[in-house]
Amino acid sequence: MQIVPHPHPALRFRSVPVVRIDDALRKIVREMFELMYAAEGIGLAANQVGLPYRLFILNLTADPEESDQEHVFINPEITQRKGNQEAEEGCLSLPKLYHQVRRADEVTVEAYDIDGTGFEVTVKDLASRAVQHELDHLDGVLFIDRLTEAGKREVAPKVLDFETAFRQGQASGSIPSDAELQAELHRLVTLQS
């Protein structure tokens, strides 16, 4: 398992609901936490590790010692949004790229935890931003899609650098082709159902 960079097709894939919360899934989630901590992130969506399933993880402290701050959101849905906030955002699939993003200030989200128990939580500030950012991933949306036109122009050169590096990797054979990566995503969707 590894974190995939933009423009990996998994990041543009509309993920499918998780149908089983079992030991295999708990193992995947554990590996995701390890990768997230290694990358010093506060959130990670399953499609960022090439898995087209609707789940993401958060630990806003980014500190593996603070395991009580670990949260897993399986099949999450935002049921209410309130207000607006704007703050800087980044993404482990676009390392070292940051920009101001406008988001809802407060969101209520329903999801299942890693034991399969349903929960509902209302979050503000950073937690709210992280939930919206990660849930976007599950729909194939990146934070760079949420920028103003001016913001998109500002980040365009860096985004192009990611795209150039990825295409070079494909040309050299170190990264599979888009067709192969798409086939793998569809295989993983079939596995799940």
List, by residue number, the catalytic residues. 134
| Number of shown-chain residues binding Co ion (CB under 5 A) | 1
In the three-class reduction of DSSP (H, G, I as helix; E, B as strand; rest coil), residue 78 is classed as strand
Q: Are 89 and 129 in contact (CB under 8 A)?
A: yes
Could you give the CA distance from residue 54 to residue 75 in angstroms, rounded to a whole number?
5
CB of 126 to Co ion, least distance (A): 14
Residues 56-115 that bind Co ion (CB under 5 A): 91
- Per this entry, what is the length of the chain? 193
CB of 78 to Co ion, least distance (A): 16
Q: Are 142 and 93 in contact (CB under 8 A)?
A: yes
CB of 45 to Co ion, least distance (A): 7
Considering beta carbons, is residue 10 or 91 the nearer one to Co ion?
91
Q: Are 9 and 184 in contact (CB under 8 A)?
A: no
* Residue facing Co ion at closest CB distance: 91
Considering beta carbons, is residue 10 or 193 the nearer one to Co ion?
10
Question: Residues in the site for Co ion, rule: CB under 5 A?
Answer: 91
